[in-house]
């Protein structure tokens, strides 16, 4: 079996588990407030790669844990990802109307509801991160919450999105582009891997190796994303192709050209795989995911 | 000395401490991202009552703690309040241009930056809540995080804001109005009091008494807010007077009339004070704050 088939076999049950848990966590629907719970479910349950929960689970499994043991945290990471997409798509931000093949949340529910659905998903994520304390020692849980909060905020995802917007239509330096990529997507990908490791009580050398892995993975994933936007069809991706170029976004292909961007992505992928050298075959899913990050078509 | 002078004497040093801590927590400014740290500071450092941090501190002091011992959590609560104001003021929401006597964040920094400043303040709040673990046992910190996350989300602040928006210009029932008030402002006020108590390791009867206090206080505070909007000047409040009526908002005076709303507020104030019966004079600031909630003019 090649890596693709093995990754598929690995992903199928775990993605199903994550989806079932997300459903459960978002199932509560008292009579009030109206609409908001539906908007939250719409934002978070539309099919997606579930990359962040899977990375959290795969990191925990690498260190002898199971998916069940980290599920609240894994799902929290997906909710934070969903929250960021809902806000990024708003008219005042990227003004996107299509996401995962569906109308974006603000198109379907209006802007006010999209802002609040994003906020409420973010809040729900921290509720789940705290709920993790029913399964893990609270001192580890608190470390994870601090890490995830930092990865989401001004020196993480929000900061990356700010620079992404400010750089639209501008000439950007390699340094600015790197900031955007490592913050806008990289920070939460890194936090996902490290969260799984922290919950298993990983020691410093283990955390350092997974830190190096996750940084390289995040970069590889985002360069690949830039490339897909240039080379794939709208239908294939479920969101408008060529939208980065249309928005004048700072991307690797725009700054370095398609070939050099491909080489960058390959290099980052190799770096990610090399960082996993200390680990046995339980880290294989993390290895396949590094390859997938670059070779995927969506 | 009357309660007002004693409250003033109580508030002055603590408000200064909270403001200094907020400054410190928001002082970090690496070169990137641009603008966002300024927008966050603008949103959070503009002078305000600091009611939520003060409630957290006063609850901790009631149980023998100090302001320093709960400062990260106290400031986190203020950041969540600031985040909610930034998002509520957006054009897609309440479309308000004036707040605390200044242009609102979206007027000064644009809509995209206001959305992201709100998000980043919310993230920073959870970072601070987790940082509390350097001062308090992590199992208590995790409880506080779960409580605060719930109070902020779909069954708290966000849920209340949704119903507030959906009820604009509609005939509302007393039940809907109560939902809006207990969720939009009440939930975070309650969480502020209980957070201070949880961090001090309060037992169940103590938590129950403070829970009753905080629920009544939140209601008293919000009815008073509705009344101020009807009766005070824009200059006095630093935000447009009569804006609730102009927006067709569901309020106590609109539903019950000004006199009945005043009686409601007085009744809730008395309920709050009665709930503090088990506590000694260390709970006096909480008592004065209940009176202030109703008798204030801003």
Q: CB B153 to CB A87 under 8 A?
A: no
Residue of A nearest to B94 (CA): A112
Segment B55-87, tens digit of pLDDT: 999 999 999 999 999 999 999 999 999 999 999
The predicted pLDDT at position A298 comes to 72
Q: How far is B32 from chain A (nearest CA, A)?
A: 8
Strands (E), A49-187: 98-99, 102-103
Q: What does each C-alpha distance from A4 to A1, A11, A157 come to in angstroms?
A: 8, 10, 29
Number of neighbours of residue A44 by Cβ within 10 angstroms: 26
Q: What pTM, to 2 d.p., does this model score? A: 0.97
Q: CB A124 to CB B153 under 8 A?
A: yes
Q: Is B135 on the interface with A (CB under 8 A)?
A: no
Cα torsion B198, B202, B203, B205 to 10°: value is -100
Q: Work out the mean pLDDT of chain B and round it to a whole number.
A: 95
Residue of B nearest to A146 (CA): B127
HEC-encoded secondary structure of chain B: CCHHHHHHHHHHHHHHHHHHHHHHHCCCCCCCCCCHHHHHHHHHHCCCCCHHHHHHHHHHHHCCCCCHHHHHHHHHHHHHHHHHHHHHCCCCCCCCCEECCEECHHHHHCHHHHHHHHHHHHHHHHHHHHHHHHCCCHHHHHHHHHHHHHHHCCCCHHHHHHHHHHCCCCCCCHHHHHHHHHHHHHHHHHHHHHHHHHHCCCCHHHHHHHHHHHHHHHHHHHHHHHHHHHHCCHHHHCCCCCHHHHCCCCCHHHHHCHHHHHHHHHHHHHHHHHHCCCCCHHHHHHHHHHHHHHHCCC
Closest to A287 in 3D by CA, of A46, A10, A16: A10
Contacts of B34 in chain A (CB under 8 A): 162-163, 166
The predicted pLDDT at position A245 comes to 85
CA atoms within 13 A on the CB side of A177: 20
Chain A and chain B share a number of CB contacts under 8 A equal to 185
Q: Tell whether the torsion through CA atoms of B183, A125, B95 and B98 is positive or negative.
A: positive
Q: Is B263 on the interface with A (CB under 8 A)?
A: no
Q: CB A154 to CB B37 under 8 A?
A: yes
Q: Is B138 on the interface with A (CB under 8 A)?
A: yes
| Alpha carbons B248 and A16: distance in angstroms, whole number | 45
Segment B255-276, tens digit of pLDDT: 999 999 999 999 999 999 999 9
Number of neighbours of residue B50 by Cβ within 10 angstroms: 22
Using alpha carbons only, give the angle B168, B173, B179 rounded to the nearest 5 degrees: 75
Q: Is B124 on the interface with A (CB under 8 A)?
A: yes
Q: Is A149 on the interface with B (CB under 8 A)?
A: yes
Closest to B77 in 3D by CA, of B154, B187, B204, B179: B187
Q: CB B146 to CB A131 under 8 A?
A: yes
CA atoms within 13 A on the CB side of A239: 20
**Fold observed for domain A3-295:** Farnesyl Diphosphate Synthase (1.10.600)
Give the confidence band of B297 by pLDDT, cuts at 50, 70, 90: confident
Contacts of B143 in chain A (CB under 8 A): 130
Q: CB A33 to CB B154 under 8 A?
A: yes
Using alpha carbons only, give the angle A274, A279, A280 rounded to the nearest 5 degrees: 120
Q: CB B120 to CB A145 under 8 A?
A: no
Q: Which of residues 101-120 of A touch B (CB under 8 A)?
A: 110-113, 115-116, 118-120
The predicted pLDDT at position A237 comes to 65
Query: Are B210 and B202 within 8 A, CB to CB?
Result: yes
Closest to B213 in 3D by CA, of B185, B187, B193: B193
Q: How far is A117 from chain B (nearest CA, A)?
A: 8
Q: CB B159 to CB A120 under 8 A?
A: yes
Q: Is B166 on the interface with A (CB under 8 A)?
A: yes
- DSSP structural state of residue A203: -
Q: Which of residues 170-189 of A touch B (CB under 8 A)?
A: 176, 179, 183
Contacts of A93 in chain B (CB under 8 A): 112, 115
Q: Is A162 on the interface with B (CB under 8 A)?
A: yes
The predicted pLDDT at position A233 comes to 72
Q: How far is A220 from chain B (nearest CA, A)?
A: 22
Which parts of chain A register pLDDT below 50? none
Q: CB B139 to CB A133 under 8 A?
A: yes
DSSP letters spanning A74-106: HHHHHHHHHHHHHHHTSTTTT---EETTEE-HH
| Alpha carbons A182 and A221: distance in angstroms, whole number | 10
B146 or B238: which leads in pLDDT: B146
């Amino acid at each position: 079996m090649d890596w693709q088939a093995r990754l598929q076999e690995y992903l199928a049950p775990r993605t199903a588990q994550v989806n079932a848990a997300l459903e459960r966590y978002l199932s509560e629907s008292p009579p009030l407030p109206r609409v908001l719970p539906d908007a939250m479910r719409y934002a978070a349950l539309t099919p997606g790669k579930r990359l962040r929960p899977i990375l959290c689970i795969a990191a925990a499994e690498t260190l002898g844990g199971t998916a069940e043991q980290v599920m609240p945290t894994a799902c929290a990471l997906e909710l934070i990802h969903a929250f960021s997409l809902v806000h990024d798509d708003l008219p005042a931000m990227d003004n996107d109307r299509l996401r995962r093949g569906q109308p974006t949340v603000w198109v379907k529910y209006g802007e006010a509801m999209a802002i609040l659905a994003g906020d409420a998903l973010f809040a729900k994520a921290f509720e789940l991160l705290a709920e993790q304390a029913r399964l893990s020692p609270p001192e580890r849980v608190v470390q994870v919450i601090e890490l995830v909060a930092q990865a989401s905020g001004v020196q993480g995802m929000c900061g990356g999105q700010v620079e992404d917007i400010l750089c639209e239509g501008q000439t950007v330096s390699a340094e600015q582009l790197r900031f955007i990529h490592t913050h806008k997507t990289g920070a939460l990908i890194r936090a996902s891997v490290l969260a799984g490791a922290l919950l298993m009580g990983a020691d410093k050398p283990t955390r350092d190796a997974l830190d190096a892995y996750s940084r390289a993975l995040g970069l590889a994933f985002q360069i690949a994303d830039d490339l897909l936007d240039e080379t794939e069809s709208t239908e294939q991706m479920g969101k408008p192709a060529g939208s980065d170029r249309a928005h004048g976004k700072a991307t690797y292909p725009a700054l370095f050209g398609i070939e050099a961007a491909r080489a960058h992505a390959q290099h980052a992928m190799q770096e990610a795989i090399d960082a996993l050298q200390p680990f046995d075959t339980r880290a294989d899913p993390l290895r396949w995911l590094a390859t997938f990050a670059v070779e995927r078509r969506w």
